[in-house]
Amino acid sequence: MKRAVFAGSFSPVHSGHVEIIRRISELFDEVIVAVTENVNKPCYISLEDKKNLLVDACHDFKNVKVMSFNGTLADFCKENAVDCIVKSMRNSIDFEYEYEMATVNKKLFGVETLFLLSAPEYRHISSTLVREFLRYGKDISALVPDGMASKIKEVVNVSKI
C-alpha cells in the first residue's frame, strides 16, 4: 500500500488545498492530511479547529485521514510509514522553497517528494488571501470549499490578522 502525506498549516483550508487532496487521493492508496503550526507564521486558528475544518472539507474522500502533528515532517513520515510527501505548486516562489525542502527530506531522511501543480482555477487562492478577505468582512465562499465559509468565520481570530 502506498501512503502519501500532504502537510501544511492550513490557516485556513481553502479550495486549492481540497483540489490537491482530491488529486492525491486518486494517486495513492492512503492519504494523510497532516496539519501543524508553522512557527514562522502567526496563529489565527487553533490546531484543533484547523484539524476539524479539514475533516469537514475532506469528508468525501474515503482514503483520506486528517492528523495533526508537532515536530518535523520527516519524523512524522517515519512514524507513520509514509512513502511520499506531496507538495502543491502555485508558482515559482512555491517551487524555490519546496525544492530545498524536498532535497533535504530526500538526502537526510530518504523521503521522496512529489510536486503537483495547482489547477489554473485555484492558483490565485491562498490562505493569506482568505484571511485578508475575512479581515475586511468580505465573502470568502468563492475561495473555500462549499459550505465551509461560515465554519471558517467562526474559528478564525480576525483580531489577530
Give pLDDT, residue 133.
Answer: 97
What CA–CA distance (Å, rounded) separates 113 from 117? Answer: 13
User: Long-range contact list for 140-146, CB < 8 A, 24+ apart?
Assistant: 143/14, 143/15, 144/12, 144/13, 144/14, 144/15, 145/13, 145/14, 145/15, 145/18, 145/56, 145/57
Give pLDDT, residue 145.
Answer: 96
- CA-atom Rg of the chain in angstroms: 15
In tens, the pLDDT along 24-68 reads: 999 999 999 999 998 888 888 999 999 999 999 999 999 999 999
Q: Residues 122, 19: contact at Cβ < 8 Å?
A: yes
Give pLDDT, residue 43.
Answer: 84
In tens, the pLDDT along 68-127 reads: 999 999 999 999 999 999 999 998 888 988 999 999 999 988 999 999 999 999 999 999
